[in-house]
Amino acid sequence: MGRLFGTDGVRGVANADLTAELALGLSVAAAHVLAEAGTFEGHRPTAVVGRDPRASGEFLEAAVVAGLASAGVDILRVGVLPTPAVAYLTGALGADIGVMLSASHNAMPDNGVKFFARGGHKLADELEDRIETVYEQHRTGAPWSRPTGSGVGRVTDYAEGFDRYVAHLIGVLPNRLDGLKVVLDEAHGAAARVSPEAFARAGAEVITIGAEPDGLNINDGCGSTHLELLRTAVVEHGAHLGIAHDGDADRCLAVDAAGEEVDGDQILAVLALALREAGQLRGDTVVGTVMSNLGFKIAMEREGIQLVQTAVGDRYVLESMKAEGYALGGEQSGHVIVLDHATTGDGTLTGLMLAARIAATGRPLAELAGVMERLPQVLVNVPDVDKSRVHTSQEVAAAVADAERELGATGRVLLRPSGTEPLVRVMVEAADIEQARTVAGQLADVVKSALG
């Protein structure tokens, strides 16, 4: 698998890349590394462990629980809950570590292990690196130091986690959702019970699709990666909006009453204005990535809100938010972070807050999302090139400068080397889709000839 930890934990095909042995070993290593770091000092350590409904989550959860308990960590097993619920409960219950078993929006055969530190925050990179090093050391020979007798960890099922998380979601809403009809697509995933319960308790009339997980159907033709069913259901039921989650419910995309998609940029725009109106948008700033639509940036500037842009990835958005104390950030994919109420992207919370804005203003979602015009965006992947030279080639730089002059203030060019493949991504935005396609094609040709 190469380096085990990626941008979102350890992920791979369950029982091939991500085995029970690996999950167990990583859990033991995590316990030892956190103990060395002083996290457990002076008390008996506790972990919150949750999973999404994938079939492989059952044996991987058993492996993680066994590993942690064998290292002397007591376990609160919360069962099938969204990733942000495990993060929240890790903080709310004062646990020393949280573990979520999920591969998010990936297909069912994949799974992943994600660790949270005390407070429900993502583990620091140096701790992940240390866990990987310690795991490799012990995998190749050095025996673990193991507690015996009363020193071994105890395992408790914490069924109260469901109600505690839902109560948290309802408690942070600015207003109720009475009068709204909402269709929820749960992707047959971790929020299949949580999200409908939260929306119903908040007063909405709820219709669900994709809410019958059987361990094998997660993300299968539904959820935030497949909006077709949601579009149809919203129109058929005459709903005010539709909300789509991914498998672990850390994302949220929406559909308006006419069945039109409302993406993460548009959701961020709506929530930014709502939070500013409430005096909660610190620094009048929202954090996005370099892939945020230019229309989002133009809209925020018009509204007097600053957009800070980071590298692609929610981890970079979160780092910027925490470093500067910003309240709102996210990605076009629907990974939205409301830092006052969550330590990670929370799709259910995002959907609730979006619905609350509709209920509070009495304005339809299409009108609220219309605060920004989503400019056409064309992405071309140029394979088999030397991506390391994309920002140093004079030929490429000249072509980019020509393209930017042609596009003017209503267009944008972004060239980005892939993090995992030998290719360069060419992204062009313009007010006119044909112009965007033409410019993207021209730039792709230059990249191919200059770097091929």
- Residue 248 assigned ligand-binding role: yes
Question: What sections of 238-293 are H helices per DSSP?
Answer: 264-277
Whether residue 328 contacts residue 308, with contact meaning beta carbons closer than 8 Å, is answered with no
- Residue 256 assigned ligand-binding role: no
Q: Which tokens is 183 given? A: 């269709």
Strands 205-209 and 181-185: parallel
Burial 49-88 (b: 16+ CB within 10 A, else e): bbbbbbbbbebbbebbbbbbbbbbbbbbbbbbbbbbbbbb
Instruction: Measure the CA–CA gap between 328 and 337, rounded to whole angstroms.
Output: 6
Instruction: Measure the CA–CA gap between 437 and 379, rounded to whole angstroms.
Output: 9
Place of tokens 């313009």: 430
- Residue 250 assigned ligand-binding role: yes
Question: What sections of 175-227 are H helices per DSSP?
Answer: 194-201
What counts of helices (H) and strands (E) characterise the chain?
A: 14, 19
DSSP at 150? G
Instruction: Measure the CA–CA gap between 432 and 410, rounded to whole angstroms.
Output: 9
Helix (H, G, I), strand (E, B) or coil at 228: helix
Q: What is the 3-state secondary structure (H, E, C) of 5-62?
A: EEECEEEEEECCCECHHHHHHHHHHHHHHHHHCCCCCCCCCEEEEEECCCCHHHHHHH
| Distances, alpha carbon 297 to alpha carbons 244, 294, 302, 303, in Å | 24, 5, 9, 10
Q: Which tokens is 250 given? A: 């850390």
Instruction: Measure the CA–CA gap between 67 and 29, rounded to whole angstroms.
Output: 9
Whether residue 365 contacts residue 240, with contact meaning beta carbons closer than 8 Å, is answered with yes
- Residue 104 assigned ligand-binding role: yes
Catalytic amino acids? 104
Residues forming a β-bridge with 101 = 51, 113
Residue ranges for the known binding site for Mg(2+) are: 104, 246, 248, 250
